[in-house]
Amino acid sequence: MEQAPEYKMGIIGLGYVGLPLAKLFLEGGHTVYGIDADERKINMLNKQQSYLSDFNRKDIRKLFSKNSFHVGTAFDVIEKVDVIILCVPTPLDEQHQPDLSYVIGAAQSSLPYLRRGQLIVLESSTFPGTSEERLKPMLESTGLLVGKDISLAYSPERIDPGSKWELEQIPKVVGGVTPSCTAYAKQVYGSVFNEVVLVSSPRVAEMTKLLENCQRYLNISFMNSLLKLSEELDINLWEAIEAAGTKPFGFTKYYPGPGVGGHCIPVDPLYLLWKAREHHMDLPFIDLCHQVNEDMPGYIVRRVEKSLQPKALNESSVLVIGVTYKKDVNDMRESVALPIMEHLLQAGVNLGYFDPYVKTLKIGETVLHSTPLTARKMKNYDCTLILTDHSNIPYELLVAHTPIVIDTRNATGKMAERKNVILL
Ligand SMILES: NC(=O)c1ccc[n+]([C@@H]2O[C@H](COP(=O)([O-])OP(=O)(O)OC[C@H]3O[C@@H](n4cnc5c(N)ncnc54)[C@H](O)[C@@H]3O)[C@@H](O)[C@H]2O)c1
């Protein structure tokens, strides 16, 4: 780690990305001004409460322990900071196109407070060109020139909430608009990350993030597309993946699931596709994966229906286990549990769910509450459907007390050999 001056950091967006980043800079001895448009989050932080599954109350209290963490909704603190990092959402709009309104909004609110010498970094996942084509002209509209008066860089966030990876262990990719912008960003991130990887431009850094997520998207979608064939051929796909994974070179294990969810993997490829189309090009692989994943909720429901026969869906009770988009987080964004549960409700299923991270869930007009997982409750259901494999779920108990367990995540492991377990 590099010796660097103590910085005053302005972190805009204190969600799954911004708050852990704030923590890292605070631990590195810097002062952090955190801005979030969501008053509820700011109020919770001020009351030393957590809204993220990776932070408990004690972790939040620790952030404030040295009096160097200041949070609020107002942007005037930008005047005081050396570095501004944007960690706001980059979702899709209703037409499945990139929605940069949060990035543009956060940058716009910062403009009145920009001053010479500041470094601005975008960390939100986005298409190549965002920093240079969208942010740079906005910043320069203040009369401050990038590379001369202020610095601008892109550095993709690669955090994996709910996983064992410490943020500082994940190499930080950085690409500045000019060599001096890159050097400034390298010094800032080098003060808290174990390794900083420099690339030649923000475009390359933006592409790096999309490349990582598109690769994952393509491979998971391919595995999902093999599920139907495996069913037809009576093959345990998980067993085949594990066997293929014993090859010491040339094969990387990716696993199937109930569909691709989350704010990144199904979203980022569409950002890249949008950019390709701007250049009159197509990315047919991404279209194909999109089709595969659109079909997944219907496929899962068909498997549930088949497993329950001769009982009809509208005579059956199904307990869904895990509704977040991935294990061990409280993040519901683009979770495939939602369309699957919606299909089941529409088919007349008596539906219940359990998720330690989600107490209530609204699906259409129906409000559901997470049910306690007791043996007595489980016996009321004809089938359990595991959609998210949280670590702290008593899978043994589920297999012991529900007549049928449909496992889309291989959470039941060796129990999958039991007669009542159907591993997809
Ligand atoms: N969550 C992850 O695991 C992860 C990993 C890598 C990259 N990313 C990317 O990082 C970005 C942020 O993701 P996230 O998961 O932290 O989202 P998030 O929704 O958890 O947090 C974003 C925060 O920004 C705030 N915000 C929105 N507009 C604002 C504005 N104008 N001013 C101030 N605050 C504003 C929101 O209130 C929210 O709290 C996205 O581009 C995402 O794709 C996320």
For 188-202, what is each residue's pLDDT tens digit?
999 999 999 999 999
CA of 371 to the centre of ligand 1 (A): 30
* Residue ranges of domains in the chain, CATH in brackets: 8-200 (3.40.50.720), 213-423 (3.40.50.720)
pLDDT of residue 152: 98
Question: Helices H, strands E: what count in the chain?
Answer: 13, 15
- Compute the distance between CA of residue 203 and CA of residue 180 in angstroms, rounded to an integer: 16
pLDDT of residue 89: 97
- Compute the distance between CA of residue 112 and CA of residue 76 in angstroms, rounded to an integer: 8
Candidate from 23, 157, 216 with most ligand 1 atoms within 8 A of CB, to mutate: 157
Low-confidence residues in the chain, pLDDT < 70: 1-4
Nearest C-alpha neighbor of 330 from the set 263, 378, 382 = 263
pLDDT of residue 153: 98
Q: Check pocket membership of 18 for ligand 1, CB cut-off 6 A.
A: yes
pLDDT of residue 5: 81
DSSP 7-49: PEEEEE--STTHHHHHHHHHHTT-EEEEE-S-HHHHHHHHTT-
Integer distance in angstroms from the first to the last C-alpha of the chain? Answer: 45
Q: Among positive and negative, which fits the CA dihedral 387, 389, 392, 393?
A: positive
pLDDT of residue 3: 63
Q: Check pocket membership of 37 for ligand 1, CB cut-off 6 A.
A: yes
Residue found by looking up tokens 């702290």 in the block: 392
Largest CA distance in the chain: 73
From the alpha carbon of 124, which atom of ligand 1 is closest?
A: 41
The model carries a pTM of 0.93
pLDDT of residue 194: 98
pLDDT of residue 413: 86
Taking CA atoms, 288 is separated from 26, 253, 282, 285, 330, in Å, by 43, 20, 12, 5, 29
Cβ-based neighbour number of residue 116 at 10 Å? 9
pLDDT of residue 419: 86
Q: Check pocket membership of 106 for ligand 1, CB cut-off 6 A.
A: yes
297-327 confidence digits (pLDDT tens): 999 999 999 999 999 999 999 999 999 999 9
Query: Could you list the active site residues?
Result: 264
Q: Check pocket membership of 202 for ligand 1, CB cut-off 6 A.
A: no
407 bridge partner residues: 386, 423
Taking CA atoms, 134 is separated from 32, 50, 141, 171, in Å, by 26, 33, 11, 26
Candidate from 113, 123, 263 with most ligand 1 atoms within 8 A of CB, to mutate: 263
Candidate from 14, 19, 36 with most ligand 1 atoms within 8 A of CB, to mutate: 36
pLDDT of residue 1: 61
Continuous segment of H or E residues that includes residue 122: strand 119-122
Judge residue 141's burial from the number of C-beta atoms within 10 Å of its C-beta, 0-12 exposed, 13-18 middle, 19 or more buried: exposed
